[in-house]
Chain A
C-alpha cells in the first residue's frame, strides 16, 4: 500500500480538522521514499514534533526520566539495576491509573532513550566514521531509516534523542503512576500528533514487517 490518498484519513481521529489532517499527512509523507515535498537540503522538518504541555497522566510516547532498567552484564550474565531515560511504548489506556483492572493488569513497556550528541561524540572517535559516513548515517537516522532506532528531535534545532527499540523492558504500572504527582519533574516531554503518529508507524514497521520473506506454510 502506497502512502497516499485512499485510506489515510481512516487512521486519523475524527476530532482533527481537515487542515490538521492535511498537515499531519504532509509531515508523515516526508518519510516516504515516494515523497514529493522533500526540500532542497534533503532535511526532514521536525517542527512541532514534541510538546511540554502539561497533562495529568502518562501517555504512549511520553519520555520519562530515570526509569529503573535491568541491564544485562554479559560477563556475569546477571541483570544489574541502572536508571535510564525511557519512552513509553504501552497504550495510554493500558497504563492509565483510571483503568481499574481486576485481573490481567497491564504493566508498562518502555524503551531506553539516549542523547544523540553523546552517540555522535562516540561515533566520531571511531576511525570507521569519516565525515561523509557520519553525515550519511545521521541523515538516515533523521529519515527514520534505521529499523531499531527512533529519532526524536525536540522540534527543529532542539535537543535530539534516539529510542532503542530493541532494548525494551517492562516497568510496574503502579510505580510509574506514582510519578504522576510530580509529572512535570519526571517527564521530559510528550510527542505531538505528528511525533506520535510517526512513532506508531515506526513501531509497526519495527515489529510487524510485510512481507516477512519467510514461507510459513506447512
Chain B
C-alpha cells in the first residue's frame, strides 16, 4: 500500500509555495489556498497523529526548505559574482568547437555493456 496523507496546515508560515525537496522521496506540495498543504510520500509510511504531524513534521520540513533556499541564494549570488565577466563564444570559436566536438564522437563503442 502506498500511504497518502493530506494535511491541513493552519500555520500561516506555511502559506507559501515550495516545491519538492527530498533525499527521502517525500514531497510537500501546496495545491490550493483552502487546503494550503498537501503531503505525500512514496517510499515510507507513518501513522500520522494530526497535531504531531502538523507541528513537528511540517515544521521540520519547512526549516529544511528554508535552509535549502538560503544555500541556493548564496550559491547563485557567489556564482554571479565570480563569473560576472563571462562571455559567450564568438561565431568562429563556436564553429571550431562544433567541428572538434563532432570529430570527438565515436560510432562504435569499445567498452563492455554499451548498447
Contact = CB atoms under 8 A, between A and B. Distances in A.
Interface in B68-115: 70-71, 74-89, 92-93, 96-97, 99-115
B113 A179 contact: yes
Size bracket of the A interface: 35 or more
A79 interface: no
Chain A CB count within 10 A is highest, among B70, B80, B99, B102, for: B80
B75 A201 contact: yes
A100 B78 contact: no
B101 A147 contact: no
Chain A CB count within 10 A is highest, among B78, B80, B103, B106, for: B78
Main secondary structure of the interface of A (DSSP, over half): mixed
A2 B113 CA distance: 47
Given A1-B81, A3-B81, A66 B111 contact: yes
Contacts of B80: 1, 204-205, 209-210
A65 interface: yes
B81 A119 contact: no
Interface string A97-112: 0011111100000001
Contacts of B87: 140, 145-147
Interface in A132-165: 137, 140, 144-149, 164
28 contacts: A2-B81, A31-B82, A31-B83, A32-B82, A33-B85, A34-B81, A66-B106, A66-B109, A66-B114, A68-B114, A68-B115, A69-B105, A82-B106, A82-B107, A99-B25, A101-B42, A101-B43, A102-B43, A114-B101, A115-B104, A118-B100, A122-B100, A146-B87, A147-B87, A149-B97, A179-B113, A200-B75, A208-B79
Interface of A: 1-3, 7-8, 10-11, 28, 31-34, 65-66, 68-69, 71, 81-85, 93, 99-104, 112, 114-115, 118-119, 121-123, 126, 128-129, 137, 140, 144-149, 164, 167, 175, 178-179, 182, 185-186, 200-202, 204-205, 208-210
Interface of B: 2, 23, 25, 42-43, 70-71, 74-89, 92-93, 96-97, 99-115
